[in-house]
Amino acid sequence: MDIELLSATKSFGGWLKRYKHRSRVLNCDMIFAIYLPPAAEEKKVPLLWWLSGLTCTDENFMQKAGAQRMAAELGIAIACPDTSPRGSDLPGEHDSYDFGSGAGFYVNATRSPWSQHYRMYDYVTNELPALVNRHFPLNGRESISGHSMGGHGALICALKNPGRYRSVSAFAPITHPSQCPWGEKAFSGYLGEDREAWKAWDSCELIRQHGSELPLLVDQGEADNFYTDGQLLPEDLQAACQEAGVKLELRMQPGYDHSYFFIASFIDDHLKYHAEKLK
């Protein structure tokens, strides 16, 4: 077996399981989580990918979002990868929360030494999907969502792979990373100083260049300190979508911050949205 079961917990009639495997793409051992609804015991089910944000692991969403009840009702599996390679111990990898460990930004690094391990885009779009489809009762229909850095990841995965996902949504995504401090730091480290190369990993730039066949659903808390600090830039995403004629439902939520309390408040809306597209 190429995956090792670490834990299995029953939840709303389904099973939340965590697995360890060796990633050839990332050149390290990785852990991922998957929630299998009760329906998965009788038939193959659709899958929602969830990409988490800075500092998170596979566990944050599964423990804090409260998604299992609705996923069980809708018959949707949810897979949560980790947010970066683990155990490579590169120089400076653990020095800050927004670069290196826990902060892979879902790009394929081209700058040494990060390019030896930090290829999270290939991991979440190719290697891990092949693994989960080999081991679990999935029907091949996939959607993708995420939060913050993971919202950025969900958007670029959908935009760079037309026809791959049935739907895409995001909570407080980093929409224009080439123009915000988090993205500038990460892209400089992983990709080098050529800002033209950054555009291939920037949702706003991808939309301007190629548009999107999929509509976008985005929730953003108005009391989110990272929104007010200029890290997330939903107004840039809105402008890019208007310019390219892409349908965007941007829901500004008064009083909500960047936390999992925000995600838990609206996760059912997103699950129902994806379930409709996954039918």
User: What is the mean pLDDT of the segment spanning 121-132?
Assistant: 98
Rounded CA Rg of the chain: 17
Q: CA 69 to CA 80: how far, in whole Å?
A: 16
Rounded alpha-carbon distances, angstroms, from residue 177 to 113, 134, 154, 183, 231 = 22, 34, 13, 4, 8
pLDDT in tens, 44-68: 999 999 999 999 999 999 999 999 9
Catalytic residues: 148, 224, 258
Mean pLDDT of the chain: 97
pLDDT in tens, 130-185: 999 999 999 999 999 999 999 999 999 999 999 999 999 999 999 999 999 999 99
Residue 255: CB atoms within 10 A of its CB come to: 8
**pLDDT grade, residue 263 (50/70/90)?**
very high
Residues 6+ apart with CB under 8 A from 8: 15, 16, 17
Residues 182 and 99 sit within 8 Å (Cβ to Cβ): no
**What is the model's pLDDT at position 50?**
98
Place of tokens 């949702």: 203
**What is the model's pLDDT at position 82?**
98
Query: What's this model's pTM, rounded to 2 decimal places?
Result: 0.97
CA neighbours within 13 Å on the CB side: how many for 33? Answer: 22
pLDDT in tens, 188-207: 999 999 999 999 999 999 99
Residue 26 has pLDDT above 70, yes or no: yes
Supply the CATH number for residue 124's domain. 3.40.50.1820
Domain count, the chain: 1
**What is the model's pLDDT at position 255?**
98
Q: CA 277 to CA 163: how far, in whole Å?
A: 12
Q: What percent of the chain has pLDDT over 90?
A: 99
Q: What percent of the chain has pLDDT over 70?
A: 100
**What is the model's pLDDT at position 63?**
97
Q: CA 222 to CA 225: how far, in whole Å?
A: 8
Residue 1 has pLDDT above 80, yes or no: no
Largest interatomic CA distance in the chain: 51
pLDDT in tens, 211-260: 999 999 999 999 999 999 999 999 999 999 999 999 999 999 999 999 99
Rounded alpha-carbon distances, angstroms, from residue 31 to 18, 116, 191, 222, 245 = 7, 19, 25, 33, 39
For 116, the domain range is 3-278
Preceding amide of 177 cis, omega within 30: no
